[in-house]
Amino acid sequence: MKKFKKTLITIISVAAAVIYFAEELGILMQDIQQEKKEVATAIEQIQDEIGEKVGMEIANKVDGEMEIPQMREQKPSQILKYTGHTLSYNNKTRLPNWVAYELTRKEAQGENPRKDKFAQDPQANGPQGDKEDYRNSGWDRGHMAPAGDMKWSTRAMDETYYFTNICPQNHELNTGDWKELEEKCRKWAEKYGSIHIVCGPIITDNTHGKLGENKIVIPDKFFKVALIQKNGKYHGTGFIFHNPPKRNSRLSTKPGPDRPLESYAVTIDEVESATGLDFFHKLPDNIENEIEQQKNLF
């Protein structure tokens, strides 16, 4: 009986020791797992810091105004610089060839109210559109650099109402999908810190003719390209919108507005082919080539 008790005590002691070491091992494993998580987090932070540093080094090497495109085709072009945007004005079409600007997070959060004071541009050479051209025409005065992106400055917003920044635009497009993309760009600016934007009209067959006494060419399409930086890496995308005939017209054979933005998304290469413009050319060639083949909504 004593021998049995002694054996039982030994078994209990061994079991207690096993349980103790098992608990210690469990705690040790938890510590190891926690340390692995901490190491993984630290590695991610280091990668992000390296990425941001690389991105900053690239940005520092690139001269300012990264968004300003180069024109591959010869067109009338007067470069006009404003508080919040820059554009190339074509006094033959009475339209901008392109409009470019950078929108930062702080700027996207501006709160100045809209004033809707359209006016002719005192800087522009040659003829340009005016209010009478659009009156009762059925075409909207479509902003390229949107007033909503310039709420951070009264002057910057006022300058978006110059007719050098305006194009005849289908009403449903102007107040629908085009506006939706403008709002999406502001959200991207807030999310990623800044966004570089270039937009403008595309003239192909001039199906819609010209508008008013000033003979403003009515665009067939519109484009927009965007560039953001995430973790030190650049990402780009493009969009092309058809400009359907004015309201109440029976001529439209293209899909109408009110479609998902993804349906308008194209590569920057495709926009370059459609416009004759070279976008983000100040970036290193390998980065430029990469972003120009992307098509996404970030």
| Catalytic (active-site) positions | 143
State residue 131 phi and psi, 5-degree precision.
-60, -40
d(CA 64, CA 233): 18
